[in-house]
Each structure stands twice: as C-alpha cells, then as structure tokens.
Homo-oligomer: A and B are copies of this chain.
Amino acid sequence: MNITVLGSGTIGQSWCALFLAAGHRVVAYDPNPNMQQQILDAIARAQSTLDALGYPGSGCSECLEFTTDAREAVKGSRFIQENAPEDLSLKHALYQEIETALDSDAVLLSSTSGLTLGELQDGLTNPSRLVIAHPFNPPHLIPLVEVLGNDLTRSGLVPEVLGFYESLGKVPIELKKSVPGHVANRLQAVLWQEVLHLAKEGVASLPDIDKAIANGPGLRWAVYGPNQLFSLAAGDQGLLGFIQHLGPSFENWWSSAGQVTFDDDTQRLIEQQYVDVNGLDTEEMKRRRDQIICQILSMKKAT
C-alpha cells in the first residue's frame, strides 16, 4: 500500500526506511527539496539494521517518491505519518493545507512527542481521523509506538492503528489518556531525576550510575517490564506477594527520592563528572548502541 510521510527530518527519514522495508510504497514530503537526498542516505544507513531485523524490502529506494507538494503527497494514501517540527502553528498550517486533499478514509498519524492530541485536533475541520502515534527514536529500530485517540476520534480507529503498526512488526501500546510526555519519556525522566539526585548527593558519580544501570537493572528492562520482573522475583507469590515482602522498602526509597531542576548546580555537576564520549566518538557509540539493540531484538524473537 501507499504510505505518506510528512516532514523528513530524522524521525521522518527513519519512518520512510521502515515503511519501505515492510514492503510498502512511500511518498515523502518535505518543503525543502534537499531532503530527498537525506532520506536516501538515511535509508541506506538503516538497511543493515532492517535486514538484520528480518524485513523483506529494506533499501528499496525505487519504492520511494519525494515531493515538496504536501497535497500531492497525501493523495491515495490510507496512512499518513506526520513528523513536522514540534510547533503547533506549523502543524496546523500543514493540516489545513492537506485536509481537503486527503482520501475519505485517510488516517493522520502524528509522531508528536510534546504536543497534545487536543491541541492538534484544533487544526482540523474533521479531527476524527487524527491519532497520535509517537515512536521511540529511531523508529525503524525501536519497536515501541505510543498510540492515543480520544472522544473525538472515530470509533474503531485506534484498534485499526494498533493493527497497522503491528503489521509493520512494531509493538504499539494504547494510551487511554493524554499526559505530557506520553509514557516512555516520562519513565525516562523519573529515572534520570533520581540519577541526578544521587550524583548531587555524592552517592555515586554520573558515569558510575550509568555503569550500574547498564550492568544491572537495565539488562532486565530489555527483557521484561518492572511489573513482570518483580512478579518473577516473587516466584509463585506473584506481584502482590512481592509487595507484601518488599513494599515497605520501596515506600522508604520513594520517600527519600529526590527532586532536581537543571539549575546551575546540576549543570556544573554534569560539566565536572560527565565525559561525553568515553574516548569513543559519538557516531561509533551510536552505531554500537543500535547494533546491540538490533541483536537483542533478534534474540528476543528467537528465545
């Protein structure tokens, strides 16, 4: 089928690579004609990952069409993944431009991380076809997609959208309520807050806390979520048994968890303790990160 990608920054480029790899035709739109080459480069870079993940058509760049005309881009597409900059007026202008060119059954999927569904809906005459579908970067690699509709959303559309992403090999979850940051970014945030708090308190250095996570609980979080892990830790007692046993400890740790802001103290701490690249260059570390994640995903499928 035809899928449209609106906005061809890093997120849009990664979606292009994924949709193509899953065997679809992609029409990519960007107001900047130079983005065509960048999309092609991104598709080439993503190819080995998508091959390793078992996608059939990765790198099929002849299935990609590029246009600087947003109305042309959406014609004939059922699913339209919108990745315009995180600026409400820009997104509204784009919605207004395309709305009358959309197919009658077209579904508009916004990758927004920071804007709310209600705000986005204000930019459409018919908001019932709009759903937030927030990926986790990079979308062609990380399975999670956070999907949110609300009362204005056409009945049955959210399950359809969940099915669409499942058909692409993603793991969508349904958000039932709008909340700043959706779920995954909020969870990253609370974890980081306590990391910064512990470093500020002098309990351990930022690099050592990074080591603790990647050599401790992080290894488990790649396999299961916390509820499942704590339930397993309690064996036949299950999660309620775990709480019976360890609930008071958790409540104690919660009561002494810290709150921080990015004030001068925090920024100084980061300057003093954090060496950004640990002797490797950024691109090399990103490559390693994505290569290991790709292997973890393959192993999880096989195990």
Contacts and interface: CB of A to CB of B under 8 A. Distances in A.
A292 B213 contact: no
Interface in A129-150: 136-137, 142-144, 146
Interface residues of A, number: 103
Nearest to A144: B216
Contacts of A225: 195, 207, 209-214, 218
Nearest to A230: B192
Secondary structure at the A interface, as helix, strand, loop or mixed, is helix
Interface of A: 114, 136-137, 142-144, 146, 171, 173-177, 179-181, 183-195, 198, 201-204, 206-233, 235-236, 238-240, 243, 247, 249-254, 256-257, 259-262, 266-267, 270-271, 274, 276-278, 282, 285-286, 288-289, 291-293, 295-297, 299-300, 303
Contacts of A224: 210, 214, 285, 289
Contacts of A219: 142, 222, 293, 296-297
Given A173-B208, A184-B217, A262-B251, A289 B223 contact: yes
Given A191-B190, A230-B192, A262-B243, A211 B254 contact: no
Contacts of A235: 282
Nearest to A267: B240
Nearest to A276: B238
Contacts of A143: 215-216
Nearest to A259: B254
Given A218-B225, A221-B218, A300 B289 contact: no
B211 A222 contact: no
A238 B201 CA distance: 23
B274 A303 contact: no
